[in-house]
């Protein structure tokens, strides 16, 4: 089963601001629906029932208070020359502590990248050559843009399942902070 731990973005005003960023940087990209916007902490491709229970147990051991999350700037993965993901950045020291606490189990995550807190706005298959210069100009203008703030009150363990048309997320566990 494919699962991930994440902070779900639920504040409507924040989601509206993130949608504005999506629209400003849209060149026919596959936009993430507001109801699916989140900050992934860990991702696991194939976990069995025992590993799932271990992840849940680790999640429930988190000891943190709710905290403010600043969403600032936009960027891309893997690079400006080869864009596959457009994201909104996260500024918060507490996010790194949360990532540390949620990771206190022995199940190995399926992510070989250094943790870079972000909210995925769009997935990109291709940018038309005629649009690349304009896209980069907009991206540079928004690199340090203060987008919004929200309060992190919980962490969720989601199951993700591909239905052929879209990914469907279901909450398996939630830990209130």
118 catalytic per annotation: yes
Buried b (16+ CB within 10 A) or exposed e, 44-78: beebeeebbeebbebbeebeeeeeebebbbbbbbe
162 catalytic per annotation: no
| Catalytic residue from among 38, 113, 116, 162 | 38
| Catalytic residue from among 105, 113, 116, 118 | 118
Q: From CA 129, how far away is CA 145, in angstroms rounded?
A: 26
Buried b (16+ CB within 10 A) or exposed e, 150-171: bebeebbbbbbeeeeeeeebee
Active site residues: 38, 118
């Amino acid at each position: 089963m494919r699962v991930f731990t994440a902070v779900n973005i639920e504040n409507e005003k924040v989601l509206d601001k993130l949608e504005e960023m999506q629209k400003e940087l849209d060149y026919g990209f596959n936009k993430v629906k507001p109801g699916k916007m989140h900050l992934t902490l860990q991702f696991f491709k194939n976990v069995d029932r025992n590993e799932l229970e271990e992840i849940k147990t680790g999640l429930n051991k988190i000891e943190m208070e709710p905290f403010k999350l600043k969403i600032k700037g936009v960027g891309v993965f893997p690079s400006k020359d080869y864009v596959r993901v457009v994201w909104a950045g996260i500024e918060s020291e507490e996010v790194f502590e949360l990532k540390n606490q949620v990771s206190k189990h022995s199940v190995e995550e399926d992510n070989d990248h250094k943790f870079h807190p972000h909210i995925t706005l769009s997935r990109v298959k291709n940018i038309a050559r005629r649009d690349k210069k304009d896209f980069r100009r907009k991206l540079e203008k928004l690199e340090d843009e203060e987008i919004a703030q929200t309060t992190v009150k919980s962490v969720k363990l989601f199951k993700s399942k591909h239905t052929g048309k879209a990914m469907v997320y279901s909450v398996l566990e939630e830990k209130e902070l």
